[in-house]
Structure 1
Amino acid sequence: MRMRATLGVVTGAVALTALAIPAAQADEVHGDTTISNVVVNGGKPVVVSATAKKTITVTFTVKDNSGVKSAMAILWHGSDFDHSDSGAVANSSDHYASCSAVSATTSNCKATFDFKPGYNTINAVAGTWKVWGIASGKDADFVQKDNVRTFKVQRLSKLTANAAPEPVTKGKTLTVTGRLTRANWDSAKYSGYAGQPVKLQFRKAGSSTYTTLKTVTADSAGNLKTTTKATADGYFRYSFAGTSTTPAVSAGGDYVDVR
């Protein structure tokens, strides 16, 4: 196997670790080694806040008829692995996964990875990421694939709602304001998510179900504002369905006493 230095990943002006890992072409299979059952972050999107490091776990299964020797995973974003624009290597000292044999031919492997706002997590790389994987058997068989699993990396979202006036006379107009924001990894702050459709919802006192009243579009700063009629005691909230780069979020219900 030839060697290549890979994942000299640059996020802004910050370079991640460059690893020398065995690979000659995009995907290679030599012998009967397989990688399967790849699970990233328990199957959930990786949601990263504006400032805090997010550590996630990746698990996978490796099989080889001679037994499993070693395995590695790298998380990456970009058009192709050799030109990735961000990534993460395992937190272990040698960047390999920890593998435990469950039989003579099968091992379960695990590794943790860090997502750091402003480092390998910048606004431009929110969305779909991939898992590069390599594993080898004790007989020198190996498999290497650039994409054994895709997953989402998203910017944490926040949403508020406030209905006024409180209390209000039945039949009178209520004004409901709020703001939709999401993590800005480049500035380490939360910025308005402009132009997004957000539902205004109402839950009558004593009920457990919200009903959508209308859809409001967030302005250039993420602000929301609309009016509705006061009909009964209950809770008003805004609810955002999410996008590929930003998770769904609902504001806490704001209770209004209707008299």
Structure 2
Amino acid sequence: MKAGSRTGTAAAIVGALALSVFSAPTAQAAGTGITVSSVVINGGRPIVVGASDVKTPPVTFRVALPSGYNTADPFPWHAEPFLYHDTTAARGADNGGLYMESYTCYEESTRAARCEGELRIDPRYGLDANGDATTWKIGVIARLFTSSGGLKAEEYATLSGGVQVKRWAKATVNASPEPVAKGRTLTVTGSLKRADWVKHAYTGYGSQSVKLQFRKKGTSVYSTVKTVTARSTGALKTTVTASADGYWRWTFGGTSTTGTATSSADFVDVL
């Protein structure tokens, strides 16, 4: 998912950029003097990606240019942070890196700009293993060009911090029988699944603690009734005593690799 080309005007610069909060780069090749700072991705929250849907979390950052370059002319320079898994930023740039598709910069001075855009993550192409659900390293590529368009200077940097990418989870619920007599047994079933980035489908997430919650009709707050461990297939099942009309749902708190999930509510009429 390599970033595209840039265009720009005196008021805005369009380019390709990536993620999280990091300090000024340390050159690993010829220094460019370009500084990228104050980068925030997705409001500082983990990026949770499903089985096939494209995710576009927002990103903001600032860029400062060396002497002789200015924000009104975007063509002689380029700065592109990215996420990578490889051993170095230089290798990671070409081996499964995650990039911004575009960004827009607004001039703060002739050599400084505030930028904003969206990261594009397509799990069908950018994520090809479930092990990608981890903390990604942050790197940056910076380049300066000659007046004829040739490469003048280039650097790859490894930056501090990281960005957590998680697998999307989803839960379902069904309570029966409906309606049910007061005092009788109500069986609540469902499932917990999460995105599989190899199969590009949702598969069962077993051995996880999932809470069964109830909200009485006419109220707005759910209460946890019990906690159940999902079976190896992700199946959920338990029984409760029917006591009042209300809504039942399953809720999962997430893990280090998987996002949270809450099912829709199933209303049960108690006679």
Unaligned residue ranges in structure 1 (runs of 5+): 1-15, 19-25
**TM-score, L = length of structure 1:** 0.76
Aligned pairs for 1:169-188 within 5 A: 169-188=181-200
Report the counterpart of residue 241 of structure 1 in structure 2: 253
Deviates more, 1:195-204 or 1:44-53: 44-53
Cα distance in 2 for partners of 1:247, 1:55 equals: 16
Residue 239 of structure 1: how far off its partner (Å): 0.3
For the pair 1:159 / 2:171, whether they are aligned, the reply is: yes
SS at match of 1:124: helix
- The 3 A distance-change label for structure 1 pair 256 and 80 is farther
Residue 245 of structure 1: how far off its partner (Å): 2.0
TM-superposition CA deviations, 1:110-161 (whole Å, max 9, x none): 45443222422131201222331245799x9998631355222222211011
For the pair 1:101 / 2:102, whether they are aligned, the reply is: no
- The 3 A distance-change label for structure 1 pair 31 and 89 is closer
Deviates more, 1:183-192 or 1:117-126: 117-126
Residues 133, 148 of structure 1: 8 Å contact kept = no
- The 3 A distance-change label for structure 1 pair 101 and 162 is same
Residues 54, 115 of structure 1: 8 Å contact kept = yes
Cα distance in 1 for partners of 2:117, 2:160 equals: 15
Cα distance in 1 for partners of 2:177, 2:81 equals: 55
Bigger strand share: 1
TM-superposition CA deviations, 1:193-239 (whole Å, max 9, x none): 11111001111111111111111111111000011111211111100
Report the counterpart of residue 61 of structure 1 in structure 2: 62
For the pair 1:131 / 2:138, whether they are aligned, the reply is: yes
Residues 180, 223 of structure 1: 8 Å contact kept = yes
Unaligned residue ranges in structure 2 (runs of 5+): 4-24, 72-76, 146-151
Residue 171 of structure 1: how far off its partner (Å): 1.7
- The 3 A distance-change label for structure 1 pair 80 and 214 is farther
Aligned residues: 232
Cα RMSD (Å): 3.1
Deviates more, 1:193-202 or 1:80-89: 80-89
Report the counterpart of residue 89 of structure 1 in structure 2: 99
Cα distance in 2 for partners of 1:17, 1:136 equals: 16
Report the counterpart of residue 46 of structure 1 in structure 2: 47
- The 3 A distance-change label for structure 1 pair 82 and 121 is same
Residues 38, 148 of structure 1: 8 Å contact kept = no
Q: 1:119 aligns with which of 114, 125, 129?
A: 125
Cα distance in 2 for partners of 1:79, 1:226 equals: 47
Residue 189 of structure 1: how far off its partner (Å): 1.3
**TM-score, L = length of structure 2:** 0.73
Aligned pairs for 1:247-258 within 5 A: 247-258=259-270
